[in-house]
Amino acid sequence: MELTTETRSILKQYRALINERRRQYDLPPITTAKLIDSMCEYMTCQYSVYLAGQFILQGGNGVPAE
């Protein structure tokens, strides 16, 4: 997967913030791949998401899509 420099920077910022907070609780750091997995899981629980210029309605019943 190829990511733009801007996207990599955004992911790096989120990962740094999350890992800083995880260190406070003696939790292991997350990887960029785990961060992306978590973001995707979060999006599947939403009623709708806006991706690539499109609204996607998906129910948002709190259960990740399979």
What is the pLDDT at residue 47? 86
What is the pLDDT at residue 40? 92
Give me the residues of the chain with pLDDT under 70, please. Answer: 60-66
pLDDT in tens, 41-56: 999 888 888 999 998 8
What is the pLDDT at residue 24? 97
What is the pLDDT at residue 2? 92
Separation between Cα atoms, residue 66 and residue 64, nearest integer Å: 6
What is the pLDDT at residue 64? 55
Q: Based on the number of CB atoms within 10 Å of its own CB, is 9 exposed (0-12), middle (13-18) or buried (19 or more)? A: exposed
User: Which residue in the block uniquely carries the two structure tokens 């709190």?
Assistant: 62
